[in-house]
Amino acid sequence: MLRRLAVAAGVLAAVGGAAYWANKQPVKEDKKEGADTVAPKLVDLRGEDIQRVDLKRRDAEETTLERSGKEWRIVAPKALKADQDAASTLAVSFAPLSAERMVEEKASDLQQYGLTTPAIDVTVTGKGGKTQEVLIGDNTPTNSGFFAKLANDPRVFILSSFTKTSLDKVAKDLQDKRLLTFDPEKLSRVELAVKGQNIEFGKNAQSDWQILKPKPMRADGSQVEGLVQKLKDARMDQVPSDEDLKKAAAAFATATPVAIAKVTDAAGTQQMDVRKKGDEYYARTSAVEGVYKIAKDVGTAFDKNPDDFRNRKVLDLGFNDPDRVEVKNGDKTYSFTKAADKWISVGKTMDTVSVQNLIDKVRDLSALKYPETGFVSPTIEITVVSGGGKKTEKVQVAQAGPRYIAKRENEPTLYELDPKSVPDLLQAAADVKESKPDPKAAKK
């Protein structure tokens, strides 16, 4: 008897469950033949035509994005700079906003879908002021998506979880989290006040970085670009609460100054003041109101001296082969000119491998340090012509005891070289030999 009752109870439960799931399961949309692969479009606007997006959530303040020209801005819950990529991605969600399928053509009970009080209510405004409002409700019983509808349309659809997530945004998700908003492509000047020194960088006619202060010097472009990247990376990891902002401001007020950086682009100059307290770094900028904790690697990027940004390479040879290399050592002169894929010296074709070895030695000449004195009676001169004959660099080298001091033509900077590098270079010049004839070509 008990067994029969248990079986009957199981059957009733199964029937009840089936009825519940049947009510919750998507009703198949009536489609014409061949149309079952076409996703219904709830909103179909071009991204560039969208002028405003209003986002309401059950558990958050309303967020409003507005387009001003080509730029998005947050106007509610308060005026904030918008992350242009995030805002544009949101706008593209409506170009088009498609559903997976229709659930019910004329829904009489929206509560069962969570659409009486929707979790998300999004109103998008296009050109001309035309608006479309999308309501997003509960998750489906099978977790296949979320119920959704247009505010003025009786049909209920299922949106994919991905589509729902792309619309489920608040101001913190869309806020520009950069602490400096300069355009790296239009940057013309960088200033850094650190360790009691003022370092200034500017670009020359070839758009290469140069050190302007404390005095004009060649800059290591990769080091300057690394600093620029850290300034660009200075951002809020997450948008802090009001309480977090108060704590950061209090810490900043008593922290140790690290550096003040200024960047200038076509839009003007922005400044960032970096300070350290304990192991934490904080920043205050002219571009964003408030004080923010920043990543440690950004804070430590300013711990520099002018020499850290100097170009240690004596010649700007880079990775390209020169057109001509000449080395003078007293009364000896070694000169090699490139013709097509061959190296020529006094009318003879030279061995490419040995010439390349010399070029590598020339390319590797680097400063160990930058002395103020020691350049007396130079005996070695190196000339490099590159860029199709457009660029000529000349370097003189003087020996001061075991030290070798180099100086570029028309520049005041002195470079103390690795004491082994100059003898190695002179030996490489002497070792360049004439190319051997190809035995196969001789037989012909």
pLDDT band at residue 319, thresholds of 50, 70 and 90?
confident
23-27, 131-135, 244-248, 281-285: least confidently modelled range: 23-27
Please state the rounded mean pLDDT for residues 100-111: 93
Residue 22 pLDDT class (50, 70, 90 cuts): very low
The pLDDT value recorded for residue 48 is 85
pLDDT at 21 over 50: no
pLDDT band for 4, please (50, 70, 90 cuts).
very low
In percent, the amount of the chain with pLDDT more than 90 equals 74
Q: What percent of the chain has pLDDT over 70?
A: 90
Q: What is the pLDDT of residue 60?
A: 85
Average pLDDT over residues 378-407: 94
Are the CB atoms for 181 and 234 separated by under 8 Å? no
State the first-to-last Cα distance of the chain, in angstroms, to the nearest integer. Answer: 109
Greater confidence (18 vs 277) lies with 277
Confidence band (pLDDT; 50, 70, 90) for 29? very low
Residue 37 has pLDDT above 80, yes or no: no
> Which pLDDT score, from 0 to 100, does residue 58 have?
87
Q: Is the pLDDT of residue 443 over 60?
A: no
The 10s digit of each residue's pLDDT in 130-169 is 999 999 999 999 998 999 999 989 999 999 999 999 999 9
Q: How far is CA 310 from CA 212, 256, 331, 425, in A?
A: 11, 27, 33, 23
Give pLDDT, residue 409.
Answer: 95
Contact 420, 428 (CB under 8 A): no
* pLDDT band, residue 118 (cuts 50/70/90): very high
Question: Residue 38's pLDDT is what?
Answer: 64
Centre a 10 Å sphere on the Cβ of residue 396 and count the other Cβ atoms it contains.
17
Is 2.60.40 the CATH number for 41-174?
A: yes
Query: Which has more pLDDT, 197 or 440?
Result: 197
Report pLDDT for 32.
Answer: 34
Q: Which residues sit opposite 385 in a β-bridge?
A: 324, 392
pTM for this predicted structure = 0.73
Residue 173 predicted with pLDDT over 50: yes
Over residues 179-199, mean pLDDT: 94
Tokens of 427: 């030996």
Mean pLDDT of 234-263: 91
pLDDT at 3 over 60: no
One-letter amino acid identity for 340? A
Taking the domains of the chain in order of start, what are their residue ranges? 41-174, 184-309, 324-438
Closest residue by Cα to residue 193 from 274, 252, 261, 265: 261
